[in-house]
Amino acid sequence: MVEACQALKKQDLPPPGGYKPIPFKRIPAKTFFNGYAMFAGYIGITAGAMYLYRLNCKQIKRDEIEMRSAKMAIYPMIIAERDREFLKQIRRNRDEEAKLMADVPGWEVGTYYGEPVYTNIPPDTLVEPIFHEYYAHSSPKEWYRRAHLKLWS
Amino acid sequence: MVVTMDVKLPEESELTVPEVNISGPTLIAASFHLGKYCEHANNEFMLCRLEENDARKCINEGKAVTACTMEFFRKVKKACFNEFNQYAHCVEKSSGDFSLTHCRKTQGVMDKCMLDKLNIERPAFGYFCEARVHDTKRPKPLEEPKAVYPDATPALPEDVEKKPARFGNRFYWMTE
């Protein structure tokens, strides 16, 4: 039995003619540019891009100035219109407050039972009310419309 | 509200004038010529508004601004209606922020019409961003006088004798 097994065993040997030589030789990748050329290219491309960026930046600044100029030209008209409407609304608010608080004894319009908000300014000074006071007597819809103007536009 | 009955507010009838019923893109399209045409009224109003810092004191100047704007748009409607409308439509439809960059061709047509018929030249692109000097007949508002407090600590007289410090100076190495 032992002899039969030994007969079947075949030793692992090299192929006839021996193994092929091992390819250990270094094959570097093909170089198109050397280091100096790559640095020069980097600097050249960056310089060109900076030049184009500068041109674009100037154009954008010019356009911004033009738009600002256009807006400033119509600004006085818009402010004039806004001022008139603002003064009308202030008067409406004051009348509304007088009507609303007519039955409350001791109430004076623009004060808290005669105690003014500002004590050391001349009485005929127009203090612009804050947003919530300005819209106090309007409908909530208008309030939301103005408060969330940025979301609507 | 902070506005008391002592504050004099103008009547509603004083404030009611025909307003400029024109939308944003149209105003932007007209802005340069409008600003040039109404330059004096605009400068007068803005100077008043910034000097006085009170909406009540510049109502008449504001009315003049609105009247001038109305007059300008009436003239444009009479002389260059089609050219202006073409430009305003371009400004409105070309971008989201009414940029003037996209409408140079229609702008050229409108500028030419404005110059030929109304004799208004388009100012340079930064004209209204420049600082302006305006000569006005309105008197300058008085400056607020310096506050005088009756209970302020009295100051030393000018000719009081000032003796050297008895114990020297804390920063003796710097001052001596």
Nearest to B48 by CA among B144, B139, B145: B139
Distance to chain B for A116, nearest Cα, Å: 8
Dihedral angle computed from the Cα positions of residues B100, B106, B112 and B116, in that order, rounded to the nearest 10 degrees: -110
B-chain CB neighbours of A68 within 8 Å are: 128-129
Contact B55 A87 (CB under 8 A): yes
Locate A148 and state its tokens.
């969330």
Contact B38, B74 (CB under 8 A): no
CA pair distance A73, B101, nearest whole angstrom: 17
Over residues B19-74, the pLDDT tens digits come to 999 999 999 999 999 999 999 999 999 999 999 999 999 999 999 999 999 999 99
Going by C-beta distance under 8 Å and a sequence separation of 6 or more, which residues neighbour residue A62? Answer: B125
Over residues A100-114, the pLDDT tens digits come to 999 999 999 989 998
Is residue B22 assigned to a domain?
Answer: yes
Nearest to A101 by CA among A76, A130, A75, A136: A136
Contact A86 B55 (CB under 8 A): yes
Interface of A with B (CB under 8 A): 62-63, 65-77, 79-81, 83-84, 86-88, 90-91, 93-94, 97-98, 108-111, 116-118, 123-127, 129, 133-134, 136
Contact B1, A97 (CB under 8 A): yes
| pLDDT for residue A120 | 85
B-chain CB neighbours of A112 within 8 Å are: none
Q: What is the mean pLDDT of chain B?
A: 91
Q: Which residue has the tokens 């004798």?
A: B161
Locate B106 and state its tokens.
């229609």
Indicate the residue type of B35. Answer: G
Indicate the burial class of B80 (C-beta count within 10 angstroms; 0-12, 13-18, 19 or more).
buried
Contact A67 B100 (CB under 8 A): yes
Structural domain count, chain B: 1
Nearest to B68 by CA among B36, B97, B93, B100: B36
Q: Which residue has the tokens 């103005």?
A: A146
Residue of B nearest to A113 (CA): B4
Is residue B5 assigned to a domain?
Answer: no
Q: Which of B5, B28, B66 sits opposite A80 (nearest CB)?
A: B66
Contact B4 A68 (CB under 8 A): no
ipTM of the complex model: 0.81
Contact A76 B100 (CB under 8 A): no
Contact A83, B58 (CB under 8 A): yes
CA pair distance B53, A73, nearest whole angstrom: 20
Is residue B174 assigned to a domain?
Answer: no
Residue of A nearest to B32 (CA): A70
pLDDT at residue B99 is higher than 90 = yes
Residue of B nearest to A123 (CA): B6
Locate B170 and state its tokens.
């804390």
pLDDT at residue A5 is higher than 80 = no
| pLDDT for residue A6 | 59
Contact A66, B49 (CB under 8 A): no
Angstrom distances, CA of residue B127 to CA of A57, A62, A65? 20, 12, 9
pLDDT at residue A123 is higher than 90 = no
Residue of B nearest to A120 (CA): B147
Give the count of beta carbons closer than 10 Å to the beta carbon of residue B153. 5
Distance to chain A for B1, nearest Cα, Å: 5
| Average pLDDT of the residues in B130-148 | 90
Identify the domain containing residue B84 by its residue range. Answer: 18-137
Helix (H) or strand (E) holding A38: helix A35-100
Distance to chain B for A146, nearest Cα, Å: 18
Name A112's bridge partners.
A115
* % of chain A exceeding 70 in pLDDT: 95
| CA count, 13 A, side-chain hemisphere, B82 | 1
Dihedral angle computed from the Cα positions of residues B24, B26, B30 and B31, in that order, rounded to the nearest 10 degrees: 10
